[in-house]
Structure formats: C-alpha cells, structure tokens
Chain A
Amino acid sequence: MNGLLKLSIAMALTLYAGVAAADKPDTLTIGITGFLSGPASVFGEPAKAASEILLDDLNREGGVGGVPVTAIWVDEGAGGEHVLSEYRRLVQDVGVDAMFASISSGNCKKVAPLAEDLQVLNIMWDCGTQKIFEENSYRYVFRTQANATPEMLSTLLYLLKTKPEFESIAVVNQDYAWGRDSWHIFSTALKQLKPGVRVVAELFPKFGAPDFSTEISRLLALRPDVILSTSWGGDLDNFVRQSVQRGLTERSTFVLPLMESSLQRIGLDMPEGVIVGGRGDHYFLHPEFRHDPEFQAFIERYKAETGEYPIYPVFHIAQALSALKGAYEKAIAANDGAWPGKEQVVDAMEGLEFRGLGRTVYIREDHQGVEDQMIGVTRRDPAYDFAVMDHMMIFPGSAITTPAGMDSTAWLETLSDSILDLPVQTYRHAE
C-alpha cells in the first residue's frame, strides 16, 4: 500500500512536471511588425536587415536553448487593420511563440489589448508612447526600450547643461501623435526646470510635408535661441537641409532628438554644433562599446550587407531579440533545464536584464524597459562623409524614467533642479 502511494505520488509529480515543461519545439517562430513601405520604412527596412544578421548569428551559436529562431515580418505600412488581422493570423494559425509589435505607437496601442486576448508574449520593440503602461497594465506586453519621457527629458537636460543661457525656443514637429506628445513632455519639463523661457512659435506642419520654407522664413524673422524638432525620416531631412540652405542653423541652436537616424543621409550638409540623439544609447560608434569585438563585428557585417551604418531601430530590434533569448534562458533555468511553457516565459520577462548592442536594459514591474539615454552634438571627422557625435552624455535611465505607476505629466511637474546634478558620463569623439 505504502509502495502504491509512493508510486502514485511519483506519477503525479511526473505528470505535473509534464504540464509545466512543454515539449522542446523544432523552431521558435516570432512575428515582427514594422514599416516596410511608406515614409517610416526608413526604420523598418534597417531593422529587418539587422534581424536577419542577428538571427543568423544567434542560430549559428545554437539559437535559444538549442532551438533555432525564425522571424516572419508584417508590413505596418499596409495600415492598422492589416496589422491586427495579420497579428491574429500569426498567433492563431501560424502559432508563433512571440510577437514583436511595433514601430508605430498607434499600432502598439491597438496590439496591446489583442496580445492580452490571445495570451501571447508581445514585445513592443520600437514604439515610443509613454502612455501604454501609464494608462493600462498588461500581463503579456513588455517594452524592451525606453519611452518618449526619458528620451525627451534627456534631450532637455543636455540642452540645459550645455546651453544654460537660452531664453526663447520654437518647436517644429510633425502633426501627429508623436510630434504633439513629445512637445508636451519637453515643454512640461522645460516649464518646471527653466521657467520664463519664451515659446515663440509652435509649428506642426503636416506629416510628410515636403517644404518648410514658410516655417523657416518665420523662424528666421523670430530668431529663437533654440529650435526643437522631434521629426524623423524625410521630414527631418527636409527641415534640416532647408534650414541649412537658408542659414537658420547659424542663427539658432538646433535640438534634434531623432537626428542619429538621419545623419548619414544628410551627409556633409550637416553643420557642427547641433544637439542630436538616437532614442537611447544607440550609436554605431558607441563610446563604451566601439572597441568591443562583438559590437565591431556586427557593425562591420551590417555595413557590408546594407552599405550603411546601423541606426537606432537596428539597436532596438537587437534589444528585443536579446530580451527574448534572455527570457527563455531564464525560464529554462527556473524550470530545471526543461523547455518552459509560454506562461513561464512571460513570467521570466519581468525583472529581466539583457543587453542588445548598447548598455544593459532591465524590465520594470510595470513591464517598461529602463534604458540609458545618450545625447551628443554634431562634429566633422574626415574619416566619415557625414557628421558624427561629440561631447556625448549618457544619462542613467533609472533617474529620468517616470516611476512605475505614475503619470508622466504629473511626474515631470514634480521635477526639481536637483535632476540637473545627475551624474552623467561624458565622452569625446575619438578620431
């Protein structure tokens, strides 16, 4: 009898273990949404090219826990409805193990509740809206990079540290959610940290506007000390080129938090002394890693295959992949080496630390990633046919990210001058 009891307990335990540990699959499939058409494909295409290189490297080293990883891309350029239906199809019919969605903040907002419904791990790999985890809480949704608040706050801190004497500012942002929200964050923090700065013009030209001549004439007449633009892609290229042609960059200090992604296209038209950023510590000459052999090998391979140096979405996709690998490995370890179930992988995401191609990022309890931010100023280096970054400051993500459970606007309104004393590392460009 005793023996029988022992046997049944042993059987029950085996059964239980069988439930917790899933069968090891032949491949791990992820679905990735990104813009492969339309203006934002300047971000989607580099990320896609990078994902192929990174997955190739990953699979050559044995994949994730011995399982090779494949990716299926969905074009966000085909519209939000298309993204949602493809998302559903990939999860329900193809049976992907995780989704990476998306570049557009609008798509992230739509996809997050869907991921909860479908109970699939969703990594928001590039979108920037800070509202996702401030307005809702999710079990299956995580963000493996910072959000708009630390991105804007670090830009403002850099400006206040390097040009503390400015008295007036103008903004020229794209007329859609990102352009409006980023200015709201920046101006809220500005009012708090340097009250009395005059906002002389708030211009929101249409998304995709090809011509900024009128805006530039007006800014030339207004002569603001600082001009901020969080635009990106062709819009940013146009605004910068047209401003340079008309001499506006000589009259005002330009602050362009997404410029890292346009530097190579603008080439030598880019003047020196412009404050630039790349949505995190994303830079192909990252001062802390540029001599790291793994980092160098990736940059060289990416350059050889695409003809360009990588820009920030490349770093973002690297972070998402690294987080996925980290979560599986953490879950496997927690599962005594057995292949984990989907829920166990989701559990492993919280508190995860991982490294893509920049500094280490960690996932907070509200699923927001905490990532350091690098801002610098443009300068010329004869070794490159475009402007590079100098006087780079890396701001610690933990100090400039809205605390979990707080609303960004409310938090920014509590900021005090002490944040300007934040210890930051400063790096010079090494020729």
Chain B
Amino acid sequence: MDPILLVLATLDGIAYAALVFLVAVGLTLIFGVMRILNVAHGAFYAIGGYAAASLVLSISDADFSPWLSFPALLVAAMGVGAALGLVIERFLLRHIYAKEEVLQLLVTFAAFMILEDVQRLVWGVQPYSATDPVRLLGTVDVMGIPYNAYQIILLPVIAVMVLLGLRWFLRRTLSGKVITAVTEDRETAIAMGIDARKVFTVTFVIGAVLAALGGALASPTTAIQLGLGAEMIVLSFAVVATAGLGQVEGAALAALLIGLGRSFAVYLVPELDVLVPYMIMVLVLLFRPQGLFAVAEKRRI
C-alpha cells in the first residue's frame, strides 16, 4: 500500500473512531454499573443530533454569531441527555432493576422504538443538517488532500478529553470512586452504605449525555435522519463487545481498532467496508469471549 494512502486511511479511521467512542463509552459505562444493555442509547444519540442541528439552525436563522454553534452543540447534548436520562431512569428502569436481563433488554428496546416515533413527531421525516461548525473550522491539507479540521482535529481532541476526564472522575473523585465500587461489587458497596439508586441515576445521566454528545458532534458532519439511532446502537454494541462490557479505556481502543479497520477496508477491499467492524468483533470474541480487556469475573455468591 502506498505510504500516502496509509496516512490518509489512518486519519479517516481516527476521525471515525472518535465519534463511535463517544457513543460506545456511554453504553459501556451504563452496562458496567447497572448491568443493563441500554438499547435506547441509540435514540439518545439521534435526539442529541436532532436537538443540536435545530439549535444551530435557529442560531444562524437569528443571525447570531455562527461561533455560538459550538457551545450550542454542548448545550443541546447536556439538555437532551439530562432530561431523557432522568426521565427514563426514574420512570422506567427503576422498576426493572430486579427483573431478568431479557426483560430489561426488551424494555429499553421498547423505549428506543417509542423515542424513534417521538423523533418522527417532533422533527418529521426530512433529514436535518447544520454544517456551520465544520465550515467555520475550515480544512487542513494533508499531503494535498483537504481534511475537515472539525473531523481530524476537534473530534479526536474531544474524544481524548472525554476519555481522560472519565478516567480522572472515576479514579480521583469521591463520586467516581463510589461508581467504581458499585461496578466492582454491587452487594458489598450497598452493604457499606452506598446509595446504589443515586449511583444508578448519576451513571445513567452521564451515559445519556455522552450519547447525546455523540449525536450533537455528529450533526455538523452528517444529516440527522430517521434510522440513524439504530445504525449507531449496533455499531457501538460491536465496539463495547469487542472491548469487553464495562471497559472505558477498552472502548477507546476498540473504537480505534474498528475505525481503522473500516477505513483501511474502504481503501483496500471496499466490498468488506460494512463487514469489517463485525469481523473484528467475531475474531476477538472467538479468542476472548469476554472481550479484549475484560478482567475475569469474580465469583458472585
């Protein structure tokens, strides 16, 4: 392979991985703490995207400075994530924590489908797009090929910041350590007086905000349309399963692996482009059924 193409494929892979990581890390965090595979995560992603696109469009309609679209992306993600996360955790998930896993999966799947219809009702069927942030940052030339600075600089920087921020939060702050404790051993943590309910709520909201942030950050580069949430939940599940459920750093590496795998496929064997993420997942799971980074599960009595 031509060394120039090698660099191009790597850049494309990193930009793609950054977005996938943001969504997958929320999914894996929620699973790690609550042991619930939240299918509605895909809907948080889509609604975050819709809300961000609407907000950015209304900013440009109102003739405010287009630079306000950057904080708008953040505001939309936090608003959507916090509101949806709180409501769904409080009124739906709280009733099913003690139920079977299959039921939990079905309930979040039902929530996902209801939220898909909500998107249809609120935003209609036409794709939404707000490209201001990409245009503002312009392009950078890499060996004669123009790249969006938004995609190859801003997105990876945000992904790394989220990764480092989460590491710091989970390891260095009290709330983070409490969450880690519940992840490691729920029964003991509760016995020590940790309010697992509160931990669940906080974790779920953080996870939901991350999903919405993924959608919000995707909205300048892609049209937000019906069906986008389903696409993302499948892909981020592949990332999470490859990494090992509940692994934050693992999710970053798996996202990178899958992002690079996909972009190299487009250059070398474009026919396999769609398959590559899942081939990587199957290969990893064949040899490490718990995922790449999963630590052996402690025996639970």
Contact = CB atoms under 8 A, between A and B. Distances in A.
B120 interface: yes
Contact of B145 (A41, A210, A221): A221
A329 interface: no
Given A42-B126, A206-B274, A210-B218, A246 B15 contact: no
Given A205-B273, A208-B231, A214-B12, A246 B226 contact: no
Contacts of A273: none
Contact of A217 (B145, B221, B225): B145
Contacts, number: 106
Interface stretch (A135-143, A196-204, A408-416): A196-204
A213 B127 CA distance: 19
Nearest to B275: A206
Nearest to A244: B131
Interface stretch (A13-21, A58-66, A234-242, A315-323): A234-242
| Closest 8 pairs between A and B when the two form their complex, measured CB to CB | A234-B225, A41-B125, A234-B127, A210-B222, A214-B12, A214-B266, A214-B263, A234-B223
Interface string A152-191: 0000000000000000000000010000000000000000
A241 B128 CA distance: 12
Contacts of A38: 226-227
Interface of B: 4-5, 8-9, 11-13, 15-16, 19, 120, 124-127, 129, 131, 134-135, 139, 145-148, 151, 218, 221-223, 225-228, 231, 262-263, 266-267, 270-271, 273-274
B118 to A, nearest CB: 13
B266 A218 contact: yes
A37 B267 contact: no
Contacts of B12: 213-214, 217
A210 B231 contact: yes
A237 B223 contact: yes
Contacts of B270: 201-204
B226 A39 contact: yes
Contacts of B9: 214, 217
Contact of B127 (A37, A42, A45, A211): A42
Contacts of B11: 217
Contact of B227 (A208, A242, A245): A208
Nearest to B142: A217
B128 to A, nearest CB: 9
A91 to B, nearest CB: 27
A37 B123 CA distance: 12
A399 to B, nearest CB: 35
A37 B266 contact: no
A41 B131 CA distance: 23
Contacts of B267: 214, 218
A307 B19 CA distance: 34
A210 B229 CA distance: 11
Contacts of B13: 214
